[in-house]
């Protein structure tokens, strides 16, 4: 963990016993996307055909000593696994032909079976994927629901989401349409969850049932509803913690709020939770009273005072945020409880800075020391986000000595002034997340802001 003195952010080293360890020996040859529990066993899914030295076809089962192939494996990489009414279901990508299926595991024969007819993508834009991918499957009100990149199930027109009625896949209203503005023209609902008896789906879509949703749609069994203003970019992950709904993605705005990659629902709107993350958040998961966020991020912005290097995983206990002993050297997306701690999967080969791992690492469950930061700041930056020009205001700024510095996410100072300026034209700077620091009468005050 690194200490950024300019921003006065203190990220204490972890307790000596809080650490990462390797899960198993042998090569894992591609990304682990999902870890899941099923009938007290751990299953892994993703892009791999070999996990910890054992040959598998995109999905494996841990037998306590090594990984076993599940059935004959699956023909394409798997995005999600979920247990529904005691049966294990798989949602997979489609990389080879023009159709895709939901699969379930027939444990009596140890074979994967297809549920209903195939899914198709007939309106893909040239230059993008022409094959349908299924991202999630879940049970809602007694029906099996599937979401992903598709617009037809058998001969039935469906758009991004469909319901199994026991015999056929059926549409859910008019489904999900269009991509969020200024994102790639690909519609992909990414994950689903049940919240307050409604089905919540998140991803990249602009409308749900014709209602402007911008990445978050809510289905009450009859019709689609929006949840606030939605977001300005893709939402990947969703989870519940302390009965509250959290989402993660690569967004930086929701209506008038500016949550960075992670946000919480207050019943009416999505709001900032006091931290932000660079890159993207893929997974939001509650385990044993702790909230975990995983993805392709390196930096945590804490309130208005600075940032810390956390590297692809953070933990929240309801009061403090923790960076778990340096995290990983590459993206993490999968997490599951394990022996009082957690087992994490992804595309990394180092954990905690120097522990060699094979895309799987164990956190022993001991509490790391939290990110410590000063919550008080009397600096305001507006507008935030900004397209180039910002205004600095503070009741504390007087006529005495004032120094202004601006840092980018790498901790590099990109602006310095030895006199107070209320208006700053920063249009020459690249789009991104920055930190404004003002030294007034020997005291530092700061504020994070976004240029877009």
Domain match, 337 and 411 both: no
Q: Report, as an integer, the average pLDDT of 200-213.
A: 98
Residues 418 and 328 in one domain: no
From 372, 388, 409, the end of a domain falls on 372
Enter the tokens of residue 212.
Answer: 């402007």
pLDDT (tens digit per residue) in 141-199: 999 999 999 999 988 999 999 999 999 999 999 999 999 999 988 899 999 999 999 99
pLDDT of residue 67: 96
Q: Are residues 192 and 316 in the same domain?
A: yes
CATH no. for residue 44? 2.130.10.10
Instruction: Let me know whether 387 and 304 are in one domain.
Output: no
Q: Residue 9: pLDDT above 80? A: no
Whether 305 shows a pLDDT value over 60: the answer reads no
Q: What is the pTM of this model?
A: 0.81
Pair (141, 267) in one structural domain: yes
Q: What is the model's pLDDT at position 240?
A: 98
Q: Tell me the per-residue pLDDT of 332-382, one tens digit each, with 9 for 90 and over.
A: 999 999 999 999 999 999 999 899 999 999 999 887 766 544 334 567 888
Closest CA to 446 of 388, 389, 381: 381
Same domain, yes or no: 251 and 390: no
CA distance 45 to 61: 9
Residue 17 has pLDDT above 70, yes or no: no
| Lookup: tokens for 288 | 């044993």
The residue from 322, 350, 372 where one domain ends is 372
Q: Among 217-221, 250-254, 286-290, 439-443, whose mean pLDDT is lowest?
A: 439-443
Residues 300 and 322 in one domain: yes
Whether residue 367 is found in the same domain as residue 399: no
> Are the CB atoms for 306 and 4 separated by under 8 Å?
yes
What is the model's pLDDT at position 12?
A: 34
Averaged pLDDT of the chain: 88
User: Which of 171, 169, 236 lies closest to 209 in space, CA to CA?
Assistant: 171
Cα separation, 92 vs 74, in Å, equals 9
Higher pLDDT, 302 or 333: 333
Q: Which of 372, 399, 416 is the last residue of a domain?
A: 372
Name the more confident of 312 and 128. Answer: 312
| Predicted pLDDT of residue 376 | 41
Which residue has tokens 């309106």?
123
Structure confidence at residue 406 (pLDDT) = 86
What per-residue confidence (pLDDT) applies to 400? Answer: 52
Query: In terms of domains, do 72 and 200 share one?
Result: yes
Question: Quick one: average pLDDT of 96-100?
Answer: 85
Confidence at residue 300, expressed as pLDDT on a 0 to 100 scale: 87
Instruction: Give the per-residue pLDDT at 71.
Output: 94
Does residue 18 contact residue 364 with C-beta atoms inside 8 Å?
Answer: yes
What's the number of domains the chain is made of? Answer: 2
259 plus 301 within the same structural domain: yes
pLDDT tens profile 51-88? 999 999 999 999 999 999 999 999 999 999 999 999 99
Position 444 scores a pLDDT of 61
The parent domain of residue 417 ranges over 380-451
Can you give the CATH number for the domain in which 389 is found?
2.60.40.3080
Q: Is the pLDDT of residue 11 over 60?
A: no
Per-position b or e across 110-146, b if 16+ CB within 10 A of its CB: eebeebbbbbbbeebeeeeeebbbbbbbbbbeebbbb
Q: Is residue 288 domain-shared with residue 429, that is, in the same domain?
A: no
- Determine the average pLDDT of the residues in 278-299: 96
Q: Which residues contact 189 (CB under 8 A, 6 or more apart)?
A: 135, 136, 147, 148, 160, 161, 176, 201, 202, 203, 204, 205, 217
Whole-number percent of the chain with pLDDT over 90? 66
Query: What's the pLDDT band for 92 if we cut at 50, 70, 90?
Result: very high
What does the pLDDT read at residue 165?
Answer: 92
pLDDT of residue 397: 56
Condensed to tens digits (0 to 9), the pLDDT of residues 229-287 reads 999 999 999 999 999 999 999 999 999 998 999 999 999 999 988 889 989 999 999 99
Residue 370 CA, chain-centre distance (Å), reads 21
**How much of the chain, in percent, has pLDDT values that exceed 70?**
87
> What's the pLDDT band for 410 if we cut at 50, 70, 90?
low
CA distance 115 to 119: 11
Band (pLDDT 50/70/90 cuts) for residue 10 is very low
pLDDT the model gives residue 145: 98
**198 shares a domain with 137:** yes
């Amino acid at each position: 963990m690194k200490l950024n003195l300019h921003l006065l952010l203190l990220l204490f080293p972890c307790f000596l016993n809080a650490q990462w360890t390797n899960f198993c020996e042998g090569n894992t040859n591609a990304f682990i996307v999902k870890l899941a529990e099923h009938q007290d066993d751990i299953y892994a899914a993703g892009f791999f055909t070999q996990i910890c030295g054992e040959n598998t076809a995109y999905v494996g089962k841990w037998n306590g000593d090594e990984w076993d192939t599940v059935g004959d494996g699956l023909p394409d990489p798997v995005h999600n696994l979920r247990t529904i009414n005691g049966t294990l279901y798989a949602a997979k990508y489609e990389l080879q032909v023009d159709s895709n299926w939901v699969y379930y595991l027939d444990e009596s024969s140890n074979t994967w079976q297809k549920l209903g007819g195939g899914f198709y993508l007939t309106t893909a834009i040239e230059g993008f994927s022409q094959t349908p991918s299924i991202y999630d499957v879940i049970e809602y009100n007694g029906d099996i629901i599937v979401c992903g990149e598709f617009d037809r199930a058998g001969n039935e027109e469906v758009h991004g989401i469909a319901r199994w009625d026991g015999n056929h896949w059926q549409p859910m209203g008019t489904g999900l349409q269009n991509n969020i503005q200024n994102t790639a023209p690909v519609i992909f609902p990414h994950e689903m969850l049940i919240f307050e008896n409604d089905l919540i789906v998140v991803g990249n879509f602009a409308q749900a049932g014709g209602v402007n949703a911008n990445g978050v749609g809510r289905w009450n069994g009859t019709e689609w509803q929006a949840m606030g203003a939605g977001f300005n970019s893709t939402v990947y992950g969703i989870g519940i913690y302390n009965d509250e709904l959290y989402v993660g993605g690569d967004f930086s705005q929701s209506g008038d709020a500016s949550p960075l990659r992670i946000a919480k629902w207050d019943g009416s709107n999505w709001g900032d939770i006091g931290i932000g993350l660079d890159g993207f958040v893929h997974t939001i998961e509650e385990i044993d009273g702790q909230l975990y966020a995983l993805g392709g991020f390196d930096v945590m912005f804490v309130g208005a005072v600075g940032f810390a290097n956390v590297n692809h995983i953070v933990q929240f206990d309801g009061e403090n945020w923790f960076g778990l002993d340096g995290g990983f050297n590459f993206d993490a997306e999968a997490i599951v409880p394990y022996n009082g701690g957690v087992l994490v999967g992804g595309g990394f080969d180092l954990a905690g800075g120097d522990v060699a791992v094979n895309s799987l690492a164990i956190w022993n469950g001991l509490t790391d020391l939290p990110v410590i930061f000063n919550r008080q700041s009397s600096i305001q930056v507006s507008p935030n986000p900004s397209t180039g020009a910002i205004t600095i205001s503070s009741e504390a700024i007087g006529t005495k000595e004032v120094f202004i510095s601006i840092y980018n996410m790498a901790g590099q100072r990109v602006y310095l002034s030895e006199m107070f300026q209320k208006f700053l034209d920063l249009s020459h700077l690249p789009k991104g997340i920055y930190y404004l620091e003002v030294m007034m009468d020997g005291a530092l005050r700061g504020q994070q802001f976004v240029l877009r």
